[in-house]
A and B are shown apart, each in its own frame.
Chain A
Amino acid sequence: MLTIKNLHASINGKEILKGLNLEVKAGEVHAIMGPNGAGKSTLASVLAGKEDYEITEGSVTFDGKDLLDLETEDRAREGLFLAFQYPVEIPGVSNVNFLRTAINEIREYRGEEAISAKDFMALVREKSALVELDSKLATRSVNEGFSGGEKKRNEIFQMAMLEPKLAILDETDSGLDIDALRIVANGVNKLKSPKNATVVITHYQRLLDYIVPDVVHVLYDGKIVKSGPKELALELEEKGYDWIKSEVEAG
């Protein structure tokens, strides 16, 4: 579904991604772990199409399409979703209002009919229940005045509304208490299907007790330096990233 080959990306002349490779197939859950500043969020932003980054080398194909060639909105319309590490607050723009615009523009892109107001509201009710997001929050301004946990739940709510093929969750678990974590993980697990895939970027092994990955990758200094089964996460937690560092430096 997603194939990243030798991806190099820089910002303000500083190279952050330095030849990253990753292959994600439908039905899979991948975890990307790595120390602060390794480039995890950069990878997520580059995939979502943030224009601040310059891609200097490499390719990304998503469902057979050249992802890097698409506008941000078209990437979303093709089925890519990014749950942001730091979701922005957008005063005055209601969650459901913009989601209806999003869904209808996505449908138009795919040559489908617009969603009826009734079906849309039913969808809002169903999906907000899934992530236990207070329906009042669903209608409020995007993330405005939300607690950290509410913002993360709102990301998963939006993901549930949009039903992406590939979801990238950037540290959706950080800052969540165990209840919120369970709710978020539950939401993700319920949306899992053989047709879609999830990439969870995380700092902590804890999340992976709830969202069980097929593969764990270690991103370090702009590259995936190690991949392995879910047990790798435990090993990382135990030994810390210094272990990876010395392994990488040893070559």
Chain B
Amino acid sequence: MSTLLSVNKLETFRSHLNKTKIGFSNGILENAESFLNQTDFPTTKVEDWKYTRLNKISGIQPSNDTTLDTDVILDYDLGKETFKFIFQNGVLCSSSDANLPEGLTILPLEDCTQEQLASIPYQDNNELFVALNTFYCSSGLYIEVKKNTVVNKTIHIHHIVSGENMVNHVKHFINCGTSSNCNIILTFISGEAKNCMSNVLTNVVVGENAKLNIDKLQLENDGNYGVFNELTEIYANANFTLNTITLGGTLIRNNVHAEIKGQNVECNLNGAYLLKGSAHVDNHTLIEHQVPNCNSNELYKGVMDDKSTGVFNGKVIVHKDAQKTNAFQSNANVLLSKDATINTKPELEIYADDVKCSHGSTTGQLDENAIFYLRARGVSEASARQLLVQAFIEDVLEKIEDENVVNCIHNELSERLGWSFN
């Protein structure tokens, strides 16, 4: 009965959005549209969304005001020179004017050829936010690192949302050619924005023998939401690292999907989430070992204070042929308040017999005896807690090789959590 009466929330949501002007093939757009036409926002009855309610997002009436707030500080300074690109509400509003080196192509999707657009993988739009991302995509970057190219400067893609009820769909494609090497930093801030939602999808191809490192800093504020997809294909002898640091946001969902498609790959997914207030951060990861002799390492750590909620669902699938796989996965959490929550579910599916795999999750509180010990030495309670939380989160942060990124994280931690660093 009730299903008959209920309105399709997705339909209402979509009625305020503008169809993409990017020249994706008709087939792809039709696919996405027909999927969207017959679906709705998932409820918590759907396993993948069990702990993350989407009513905050489905309740947005997306604004069609396209004027960009010019008072917003667009820049985010990493303290070093980068190839920098800035998106505000899904619009590319600043591009690094430096000459890109030989072998590196960076174009807004709007300026891509049909051929370039067709090279983007994962056009299987059978997932709501992927389909939305395609059908309503406003912009994004096409990044191609040619064979043997070592990009010696970090590519920094900064995303800002501003205003109220602004919904943006950004799609990036990072294609690293054989034996190339590249570092990318993705930053996301929402400043003074209210009730805004970002749907950012990053398609990644790490070619043979290539090395790609992505540091992703999610610095959203209360009252803003985001769904982030990083869909990665990794080929033989390649090395891929994705570090996801999340420090806020009323609802953040990360879907990381890494498909290991060639032998001798190393795939590292690391994550740290430090949440307070009523932040809700959901990390879903899926690593698929499809071939033998690959390593994957996954380390996610979370600290939840106040009424914040963390969700971790990490799945590793070792397919039948993926012998000699080493897959290590760990999720550890600290709850700082009795109202904080974590739902953690590490999942390992192994269909090969000669593999080394381990997974585990822990949830605990800070050691009160340790706090007392530190206080008995003259350290304030706040500093004692900081020292312990820092110690806990350190093994994730130390995976980040870029000092400037670590400094940015420290700055954010001192602003958001009042931490001091000496």
Pick from B12-20, B370-378, B402-410 the stretch touching chain A. B370-378
Contact with A along B137-172 (1 / 0, CB 8 A): 000000000000000000000000000000000000
CB atoms of A90 and B380 under 8 A apart: no
Pick from A95-103, A172-180, A191-199, A243-251 the stretch touching chain B. A95-103
* CB-based nearest B residue for A91: B391
Given contacts A91-B391, A93-B391, contact A101 B383 (CB under 8 A): yes
From B373, B376, B422, A101 is in contact (CB under 8 Å) with: B422
A158 CB-CB contact with B under 8 Å: yes
CB atoms of B378 and A90 under 8 A apart: no
CB atoms of B377 and A76 under 8 A apart: yes
Complexed CA–CA distance, A97 and B377 (Å): 12
CB atoms of A88 and B375 under 8 A apart: no
CB atoms of A98 and B377 under 8 A apart: yes
Contact with B along A128-154 (1 / 0, CB 8 A): 000000000000011000000000000
Question: Looking at B372, B377, B381, B394, which has the most chain A CB atoms within 10 Å of its CB?
Answer: B377
Complexed CA–CA distance, A75 and B380 (Å): 11
CB atoms of A73 and B380 under 8 A apart: yes
CB atoms of B392 and A92 under 8 A apart: yes
CB atoms of B383 and A105 under 8 A apart: yes
Complexed CA–CA distance, A81 and B374 (Å): 11
A169 CB-CB contact with B under 8 Å: no
* CB-based nearest B residue for A89: B370
CB atoms of A82 and B374 under 8 A apart: no
Given contacts A97-B387, A98-B387, A101-B387, contact A92 B377 (CB under 8 A): no
Instruction: Write the nearest CB–CB distance from B304 to chain A, whole angstroms.
Output: 18
**Inter-chain contacts of A106 with B (CB < 8 A):** 378
Complexed CA–CA distance, A78 and B54 (Å): 53
CB atoms of A162 and B377 under 8 A apart: yes
CB atoms of A93 and B378 under 8 A apart: no
Q: Apart from A98-B377, A141-B391, what 8 extra A-B contacts exist at CB < 8 Å?
A: A48-B372, A73-B378, A76-B375, A76-B377, A88-B367, A88-B373, A90-B370, A105-B380
B379 CB-CB contact with A under 8 Å: yes
From B377, B392, B394, A158 is in contact (CB under 8 Å) with: B377
Which of chain B's residues 379-416 have a Cβ closer than 8 Å to chain A? 379-381, 383, 387-388, 390-392, 394-395
* Main SS at interface, chain A: helix
Sample 29 A-B pairs with CB under 8 A, ordered by A number: A48-B372, A48-B376, A49-B375, A71-B381, A73-B375, A73-B376, A73-B381, A75-B376, A76-B377, A77-B378, A84-B373, A88-B367, A88-B369, A88-B373, A90-B370, A90-B374, A90-B388, A90-B391, A91-B391, A92-B391, A92-B395, A93-B388, A98-B374, A98-B379, A98-B387, A101-B379, A101-B422, A105-B378, A106-B378
A72 CB-CB contact with B under 8 Å: yes
A87 CB-CB contact with B under 8 Å: yes
Instruction: Write the nearest CB–CB distance from A112 to chain B, whole angstroms.
Output: 13
A3 CB-CB contact with B under 8 Å: no
CB atoms of B370 and A71 under 8 A apart: no
**Inter-chain contacts of A109 with B (CB < 8 A):** 378
Chain A residues with a Cβ under 8 A of chain B: 48-50, 71-73, 75-77, 81-82, 84, 87-88, 90-93, 97-106, 109, 141-142, 158, 162
* CB-based nearest B residue for A90: B370
* CB-based nearest B residue for A76: B378
* CB-based nearest B residue for A45: B372
Q: How many A-B residue pairs have CB under 8 A?
A: 79
Given contacts A93-B388, A98-B377, contact A50 B370 (CB under 8 A): no
Chain B residues with a Cβ under 8 A of chain A: 367, 369-370, 372-381, 383, 387-388, 390-392, 394-395, 422
Complexed CA–CA distance, A97 and B384 (Å): 11
**Inter-chain contacts of A91 with B (CB < 8 A):** 391
Given contacts A93-B391, A97-B387, A100-B422, contact A87 B373 (CB under 8 A): yes
CB atoms of A93 and B376 under 8 A apart: no
**Inter-chain contacts of B375 with A (CB < 8 A):** 49, 71-73, 76
**Inter-chain contacts of B387 with A (CB < 8 A):** 93, 97-98, 101
* CB-based nearest B residue for A100: B422
Complexed CA–CA distance, A75 and B370 (Å): 17
CB atoms of B372 and A92 under 8 A apart: no
Complexed CA–CA distance, A87 and B377 (Å): 12
Complexed CA–CA distance, A106 and B383 (Å): 12
CB atoms of B394 and A105 under 8 A apart: no
Instruction: Write the nearest CB–CB distance from A110 to chain B, whole angstroms.
Output: 10
Question: Looking at A82, A92, A103, A105, which has the most chain B CB atoms within 10 Å of its CB?
Answer: A92
CB atoms of A72 and B388 under 8 A apart: no
Identify the 6 closest CB pairs spanning chains A and B, nearest first: A92-B391, A76-B378, A72-B375, A106-B378, A102-B378, A102-B377
* CB-based nearest B residue for A104: B422
CB atoms of B379 and A102 under 8 A apart: yes
Instruction: Write the nearest CB–CB distance from B395 to chain A, whole angstroms.
Output: 8
From A50, A105, A141, B379 is in contact (CB under 8 Å) with: A105
* CB-based nearest B residue for A114: B422
CB atoms of A73 and B370 under 8 A apart: no
Instruction: Write the nearest CB–CB distance from A142 to chain B, whole angstroms.
Output: 8
Question: Looking at B374, B376, B380, B394, which has the most chain A CB atoms within 10 Å of its CB?
Answer: B376
